[in-house]
Structure 1
């Protein structure tokens, strides 16, 4: 995040003597982006954070990604995926390319400790309650929350008793940030942006971990490795800086409206190398007296569009089987838009009732076997079949 904070015990000046109660030094860790010319933070550990006692290969091969060939629009139904368990090791890869990967997980137990050394990770909480525990502290999470975990942050996902935590993961190669046009040159959110500092939650309470010889799974560009740490990584007594996990709720996003249709960039939430993210939330619909308050047919010729239907109505897809928990993928080269009958039904409506999370990629997405296993084979033809159904009605 582009502004400074501090938590716990820290010295008055960085890189100076800072002693523990027994007289030994705290171990200072500098974590930073872009060769330390981007955002950085300093963490103070009780023990050396690089003390590891074993290195192991993790035998957890991911699904192979294959081209979407022949090119087709997709309707995925991740609620039909069979696995539940650990949000790290039991997540399903659905879609991806060299710059972004999209996963789905149903967590029923606390995850292994984990860090991604490739890029930032974002999780959207579809349902359930839990806590993101990190070396920076903890963030309580519930339905509708986005959580952004910076590269190489050791963390785990914990699940509230009796809950299932349903998570959509977006994994970057690089960093996920608010759109640069939302920020001043000093990093402050500008007036008129759809969310700001008051909406953002940062870790304020540190997490204390106990035990020795603690395994941490590390994601690299070639797979997963397990490092066994001599000391528990959650031994931080304080930290300060501008790089840390953060969260905000889709329910706090303030939608932009107009008298006529507003395109997706008006609803943008994040940007990252190779993709952007938007969300669509309940809002007043277009108020021009002759407005058609539903998106037109469109071809984003430089992007594949992924839309996760998190909550509320899917009015543009009525009659297709797309509903809560669905994911649609409309690849570049496919003209997509509202299904027959839905344009007429939208005229005169004054309000949208939807929560949708969008990922627009700059390069074509590849598809996993898990995605193909929950693919609705009839969806690509629904514009034609619904046209026939409406014309014969």
Structure 2
């Protein structure tokens, strides 16, 4: 996100001496993307950010996948995956729902603080379905609540601290996640036709220095396991939250879905108007409460459409999703409409929608440009009947 911020104590000139009150030199770390050619931030550490005391393997949560064969539309009932958050945390308790080489979609219900965690494979976009808490990071902390997207850049050391049960829908990239390029100026400012702007984004608070020795950090990284991933635990001599100040354009931030301003028209608008973020070979959209088509002969629900190039995943968060009435889908459901299969509203929903002036619905959609496979959480939550719902 090319939106400059600074926090804490930094020197007037970068790459120059910066000392503590007792004269000790702070250690400068550049955290940057694309080999010094994209967004970056400079962080000033009390300790040595590269220092480790020991390392061991970490067994990642089950990342094995099963192809969607025979090719079927699926209804996955995510609320069936967890009885509650007791004994679960947002990092190690995730259950993989859908995955391909570009993105992994998981779901978790958690109430325990997570271990310190660093995803070294890509950015994460975590949508908070319900619950509150704090995302603690090396940059500072972010309070979160229902409807928040939290964007955590690749290799950011962080942990999740819920205040009771938190329901989180986790979208992990194998690259970076950013606002759509068509909403950005040449220099990275969100433009006037964007459905949100910089004022809607919440950055972390002031960095916090913690003096704790012998701390463990869980790292997900490229390796030889399922999906080309492996896990490692580093034991570090000083707590990673030892930053006295930082500045730059790379940092975690939050955006609440209630601040997304929907784009509407006289006739039905295509899904790109709902886009909120993009990654490599996938996009993230959200459908929010809004006025709908106002042409006198408009049909407000979507027309049938074939996903020629993509799989479409819709997570139903709140409200009453008009196009799916009669399909069994409700809050906490995920629909998978795979490329190669036409899909659209339930037949009875088309006529019923005519004359509607607004829709009260909230959903998060991920469209991928490579086929998705089912993770163990997807297989466990599949209702087994959704593909036949259009003939009922």
Do the two structures share a fold, i.e. TM-score over 0.5?
yes
Deviation at 1:204, TM superposition (A): 2.3
Indicate whether 1:280 and 2:287 are aligned: yes
* Structure 2 CA distance for aligned equivalents of residues 130 and 226 of structure 1: 25
Q: Distance in 2 between matches of 1:118 and 1:252?
A: 29
- The corresponding residue for 1:390 is none
Q: How many residues align?
A: 383
Deviation at 1:368, TM superposition (A): 1.4
Moved more, 315-324 or 30-39: 315-324
Runs of 4+ in 1 over 6 A off after TM superposition: none
Is the contact made by 2:208 and 2:244 (CA closer than 8 Å) also made in structure 1?
A: no
Once the two structures are overlaid, the 10-residue window that deviates more, 186-195 or 74-83, is 74-83
User: Which of 305, 311, 323 does residue 318 from structure 2 map onto?
Assistant: 311
> Which residue number in structure 1 is paired with residue 189 of structure 2?
188
Give the aligned CA root-mean-square deviation in angstroms: 1.0
User: How many Å apart are 1:370 and its aligned residue?
Assistant: 2.1
Paired position in structure 1 for 2:109: 106
Q: CA deviation at 1:61?
A: 4.8
Q: Which of 291, 302, 320 in structure 2 is aligned with 1:295?
A: 302
CA distance in 2, matches of 1:101, 1:86: 18
| TM-score of the aligned structures, taking structure 2 as reference length | 0.96
Q: TM-score normalised to the size of structure 1?
A: 0.96
SS in 2 for 1:343: helix
Q: Is the 8 A contact 1:128 1:143 kept in 2?
A: yes
8 Å Cα contact 1:42/1:240 also seen in 2? yes
Q: 2: CA distance between counterparts of 1:322 and 1:376?
A: 10
Provide the C-alpha distance between the structure 2 equivalents of 1:63 and 1:181, rounded to a whole number of angstroms: 33
- Equivalence for 2:204: 203
Q: Whole-Å Cα distance in 1 between the matches of residues 279 and 363 of structure 2? A: 19
CA distance in 1, matches of 2:149, 2:209: 24
Aligned-pair distance for 1:144?
0.2
Determine if contact 2:61/2:94 at 8 Å carries over to the other structure.
no
Aligned partner of residue 170 in structure 2, secondary structure = strand
Structure 1 equivalent of residue 352 of structure 2: 345
Query: Secondary structure of 1:327's partner?
Result: strand
Report the Cα distance in structure 2 between the residues aligned to 1:375 and 1:207, rounded to whole angstroms.
43
Verify the 8 A CA contact 2:179 2:276 in the aligned structure 1: yes
1:63 deviation in Å? 3.4
2:149 to 146, 150, 158: 146
Counterpart check, 1:32 vs 2:26: no
What's the CA shift string for 1:169-212, capped at 9, x where partnerless? 00001110000110111111111210000100011222333311
- Provide the residue aligned with 1:327 in structure 2: 334
**Gaps spanning 5+ residues in structure 2: where?**
224-229
The aligned residue for residue 11 of structure 1 is 11
CA distance in 1, matches of 2:60, 2:24: 40
Is 1:224 aligned with 2:225?
no
User: What is the deviation of 1:340?
Assistant: 1.8
1:268 to 260, 271, 275: 275
Q: Alpha-carbon deviation of 1:334?
A: 1.0
1:288-333 CA deviation, whole Å, 9 max, x = no partner?
Answer: 0000011000012000000000111111111221011100000001
Paired with 1:384 and 1:270, the residues of 2 have a C-alpha distance of 34
Q: Kindly report which structure 2 residues correspond to 1:244-255, keeping only aligned pairs within 5 A, or say none.
A: 244-255=251-262
Distance, in Å, in 1 between the alignment partners of 2:266 and 2:11 is: 54
- Name which of structure 1's ranges 217-226 and 281-290 shifts more when overlaid on structure 2: 217-226
Quick one: which of 214, 222, 243 aligns to 2:250?
A: 243
Q: Residue 74 of structure 1 aligns with which residue?
A: 74
Unaligned runs of 5+ in 1: 386-393
> For 2:60 and 2:36, how far apart are their aligned partners in 1?
32
Alpha carbons 1:63, 1:370 under 8 Å: kept: no
**Greater Cα shift, 194-203 or 58-67:** 58-67
Choose from 156, 170, 173 the match for 2:159: 156
* Secondary structure of 2:390's aligned partner: helix
Residue 227 of structure 2: aligned partner: none
Distance 2:293 2:69 in 1: 37
Quick check: 2:118–2:157 contact (8 Å CA) kept in 1?
A: yes
Aligned to 1:2: 2
Pick the aligned partner of 2:126 from 119, 123, 128: 123
Determine the structure 2 residue equivalent to 1:50: 50
- Number of the residue aligned with 1:382: 389
Provide the rounded CA distance (Å) in 1 between the counterparts of 2:254 and 2:319: 22
Using the TM superposition, give the Cα deviation of residue 99 of structure 1 relative to its aligned residue in structure 2, in angstroms: 0.6
